[in-house]
C-alpha cells in the first residue's frame, strides 16, 4: 500500500499519512532505546516482532470490546491505525514492583502489589517523562475528569486482558505502559488504546524461571532481545516465519 508523507518519527516507530483521511500507517523500526535514548542500538527483527505482537494484543482487546486505534496489519513492519490525538500521558499499570517503582519506593523487584497500581507520567522527553498526579493532569488540562475515569477503566481492562493472555502462556505481566488517543466522531469524542502494546512497553517474566522476556533484556544487557521477543511470539502462536532464533538448516 502506498503510504503518504511522513508525519512523525519517534524512537521506535514512524507515522505516515494513511490512504484514507483519518488513517495513519504506523511503521515499526528496529531501533531500541533506553534511559531517554541515552542507550541506543538497532536490533535486527525487533520491529517485525513488535508489529505482530501489537496486532495480536490490539485485536484481542477489540474482540473483548476495548476500543483501540488498530485497523489492520499491512505487512511485516506496517499497520494501519486510526488517526487520533494522543493524550500526553504514559499510563502505567503495575501488578508487581519493578523498575522505577522499586527504585522510588525501595520495594524489592517482583514483590506482588496489594492491587494493580496505575501511575501517570507526562509524555515529554526533554523532561524525562516525569511522574505526575491526577491533580497535575486536571490543573494543566491534559485530560478532563471524565477522561481520567475512562482512562482508568481502559487501563484496568487492558491489565486484566493482558495478564490473562500472558498467564495462559506461562508469563507474568509485571507491568506495562499504554498511551490513550482521542478519536472524534462527529460531535462526539471517545478514547481508544493507541500507540503499541509490545514487549518494548511491558515487563514480562517467565513464571517458572523468572527469565525476562521484555525490553529489560536490552536495558540491563541480559542477552539477545529478539530471542526474548520471539519466545513471547512463539508461545502466543504469532511467530512470523523467518524471524527469531531459528538458524537456517542445511539440507543435503
DSSP 1-70: -----EEEE-SSEEEEE-SSTTEEEEEE-SEEEETTTTEEEE-TTHHHHHHHHHHHHHHHHHHTT--BSE
Q: Given the C-alpha cell 531459528, which residue does it identify?
A: 246
Contact partner, 152, from ligand TMP, ligand ASP, none, Cβ < 5-8 Å per class: none
Question: Could you say which of 46, 69, 203, 212 contacts ligand TMP (CB under 6 A)?
Answer: 203
The number of CA neighbours under 13 Å toward the Cβ of 193 is 30
Q: How far is CA 28 from the centre of its chain?
A: 12
* Binding of ligand ASP by 145 (CB under 6 A): no
Query: What letters, b where the CB count within 10 A reaches 16 and e where it falls short, cover 39-67?
Result: eeeebebbbbbbbbbbbbbbebbeeeebb
* Residue 195 binds ligand TMP (CB under 6 A): no
**Of residues 3, 11, 123, 234, which one binds ligand ASP by CB under 6 A?**
11
Residue 74 class from Cβ within 10 Å (0-12 exposed, 13-18 middle, 19+ buried)? middle
Residue 33 or 59 with smaller CB distance to ligand TMP: 33
100 is a site residue for ligand ASP (CB under 6 A): no
Site for ligand ASP contains 219 (CB under 6 A) = yes
Among 34, 71, 118, 238, binds ligand ASP (CB under 6 A): 34
Tell me if 181 sits within 8 A of 85, measured CB to CB: yes
Stretch that binds ligand TMP, among 20-28, 160-168, 174-182, 236-244 (CB under 6 A): 174-182
Look at residues 155, 162, 136 and name the one whose alpha carbon lies nearest to residue 232: 162
Q: How far apart are CA 158 and CA 161, in angstroms?
A: 5
Tell me if 99 contacts ligand TMP by CB under 6 A: yes
Q: Does residue 202 interact with ligand TMP by CB under 6 A?
A: yes
Q: Does 58 help bind ligand TMP (rule: CB under 6 A)? A: no
Q: Is 100 in the site for ligand TMP (CB under 6 A)?
A: yes
Based on CB atoms, which residue is closest to ligand TMP, 6 or 220? Answer: 220
From ligand TMP, ligand ASP, none, interface partner of 88 (C-beta below 5 to 8 A by class): none
Q: Which is nearer to ligand ASP, 34 or 138 (CB)?
A: 34
Give the angle 196-112-209 at the CA atoms, nearest 5°: 75
Question: What is the C-alpha separation between 43 and 192, in angstroms, rounded?
Answer: 29
Site for ligand ASP (CB under 6 A): how many residues? 7
The answer to whether 92 contacts ligand TMP (rule: CB under 6 A) is: yes
Which residues contact ligand TMP (rule: CB under 6 A)?
92, 98-101, 129, 175-177, 201-203
Which residues contact ligand ASP (rule: CB under 6 A)?
11, 33-34, 36-37, 215, 219
Amino acid at each position: 500500500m502506498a503510504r503518504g508523507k511522513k508525519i512523525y518519527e519517534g524512537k521506535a516507530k514512524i507515522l505516515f499519512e494513511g490512504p484514507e483521511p483519518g488513517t495513519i500507517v504506523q511503521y515499526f523500526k528496529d531501533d531500541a532505546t533506553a534511559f531517554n535514548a541515552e542507550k541506543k542500538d538497532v536490533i535486527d527483527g525487533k520491529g517485525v516482532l513488535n508489529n505482530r505482537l501489537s496486532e495480536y494484543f490490539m485485536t484481542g482487546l477489540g474482540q473483548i470490546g476495548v476500543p483501540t486505534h488498530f485497523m489492520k496489519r499491512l505487512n511485516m513492519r506496517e499497520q494501519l491505525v486510526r488517526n487520533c490525538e494522543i493524550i500526553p500521558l504514559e499510563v502505567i499499570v503495575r501488578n508487581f514492583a519493578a523498575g522505577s517503582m522499586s527504585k522510588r519506593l525501595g520495594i524489592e523487584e517482583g514483590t506482588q502489589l496489594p492491587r494493580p497500581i496505575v501511575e501517570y507520567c507526562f509524555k515529554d522527553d526533554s523532561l524525562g517523562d516525569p511522574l505526575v498526579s491526577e491533580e497535575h493532569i486536571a490543573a494543566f488540562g491534559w485530560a478532563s475528569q471524565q477522561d481520567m475515569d475512562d482512562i482508568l477503566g481502559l487501563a484496568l481492562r487492558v491489565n486484566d486482558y493482558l495478564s490473562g493472555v500472558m498467564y495462559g502462556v506461562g508469563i507474568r505481566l509485571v507491568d506495562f505502559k499504554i498511551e490513550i488517543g482521542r478519536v472524534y466522531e462527529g460531535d462526539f469524542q471517545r478514547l481508544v488504546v493507541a500507540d503499541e502494546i509490545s514487549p518494548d512497553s511491558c515487563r514480562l517474566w517467565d513464571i517458572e524461571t523468572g527469565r525476562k522476556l521484555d525490553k529489560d533484556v536490552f536495558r540491563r544487557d541480559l542477552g539477545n532481545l529478539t530471542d526474548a521477543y520471539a519466545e513471547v511470539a512463539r508461545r502466543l502462536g504469532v511467530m512470523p516465519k523467518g524471524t527469531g532464533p531459528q538458524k537456517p538448516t542445511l539440507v543435503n
